[in-house]
Structures are given as structure tokens and as C-alpha cells.
Structure 1
Amino acid sequence: MLTSVDTDLMRALADPLRLRIVTLLAEETLCTTHLVEETGARQTNLSNHLRVLREAGVVETEPCGRWTYYKLRPDVIAQLAGQLADLAAVARTAADNKRACP
């Protein structure tokens, strides 16, 4: 049975800067300063995007002194990948299904 795809998560990952952040965090845990350096984004803009990713459950924070580190939650990405894989599997099996026009 097909499970629904998490549209809020898809929206969170649809932005190019947020997808870049997620890609960077897949490789290592980084603080905001690192992310500013890597993306070239302004800190306020980056903070807003990180908030969206946190609220979507994609990243989690780890305080370290006066810095905040961000790390990716791979389980969330894997869950979305599974939902998309389920959707692709349904499409493969239904490729020859065609509803007749009235």
C-alpha cells in the first residue's frame, strides 16, 4: 500500500540553499560560521533556513560553548527516500493502467 509523501519535508528540501545545507551536513557536523563560509549566505538568511530545517525535523542542534552545531538526521532523509521509493514502485506496477475516457 502506498504511503503518503511528507509534503512539508519536501518543501523544506526544495529550496536550493536548504538543499545545499543538507548536503554539507551529510558530510560533517558544522556550526553556523562554517555554513556561512561554505554557502556564502548571510548569517541571518542562513539562520532562517536552518530554522525551517529544524522545524521540519531534518537537522538537530548541538550546543558547544558559544557555538551551535548542526547535524543532519539521516533517519528523516531515509524515511522520505522510502516514501518516494514506494511511490516509484506503485508507478512501475501501474504503468500499463489507463483509465478510459468517458
Structure 2
Amino acid sequence: MPKALPVIDVSAPICCPPVSAAPMSDDAALEVALRLKALADPARIKLMSILLTTDAGEVCTCDLATGVELAESTVSHHLSQLRKAGMVESERRGMNVYHRARSQALDALRMVLDPNCCR
């Protein structure tokens, strides 16, 4: 049985300096590792790609399932892991759940890994 990701405070961005600035504390390393672990799956990368590139800003679970060719229940599981890591926000509307990427979480992660990236 795979280990579940520990719950982290998704309301706060990554709070540590870049990995190249100094040796990281155990807590900071865990926070970064949990986010990277949440992204370390091809289906989750594809889901994030769809969410980050949609013109609508949000996508229904059913449309995401079609986009990644997986069952809705499987997509829901992947989205749950991304949500726990602070990468996705979800909102229920009637029978459907709509998801949107938290691009600021990815920006924070990018800055922790490489502060000189994308400048």
C-alpha cells in the first residue's frame, strides 16, 4: 500500500530559501519533497498541464478524465493528492467538481529549486 502524503498547510507558499542558498532544515526539505512527490506521476503532470493551459481557467473532473484517458475516480484521486500539496483548488457545483491550478504554488516551488529560473 503506498504511503499517503502528510497534510501540509496549503494556504502558505513554500517558506524556505532556495536549495542553493544554504543547507535546508529537515522541515523545509520535507515541505519541498512533499510537493515534488505530488507532482512525480505522469498523470498528475498531465493534469497540471491541462489545468495550467486551459483558457477557461478551470476544468471539470469529467473533462480532465477524458483529457488524460483515465477513469474519473482515478483522476479524482490524483487531484486529491495535488490539492493536499497545494497545487490545485477545487470547487463543487452541483454534481460536478471544477479544478484550477494554483500557479503561485508552482512559482514558489520553482523559486525554491532555482531562484534564477525564468528571469
> Which category of TM-score, normalised to the shorter sequence, fits these structures?
0.7 to 0.9
Match of 2:95 among 63, 66, 76: 66
Bigger proportion of residues as helix: 1
Structure 1 residue 56 corresponds to structure 2 residue 85:
yes
Tell me what 2:39 maps to.
Answer: 13
**% identical equivalent positions:** 28
Using the size of structure 2 for normalisation, the TM-score is 0.67
The structure that has the greater radius of gyration is 1
> How many residue pairs get matched?
88
Distance in 2 separating the partners of 1:38 and 1:30 = 10
Structure 1 residue 85 corresponds to structure 2 residue 111:
no
The secondary structure found in structure 2 opposite 1:62 is: strand
Moved over 6 A (4+): none
Instruction: State the Cα RMSD in Å.
Output: 1.9
The gaps in structure 2 that reach 5 residues or longer are 1-20
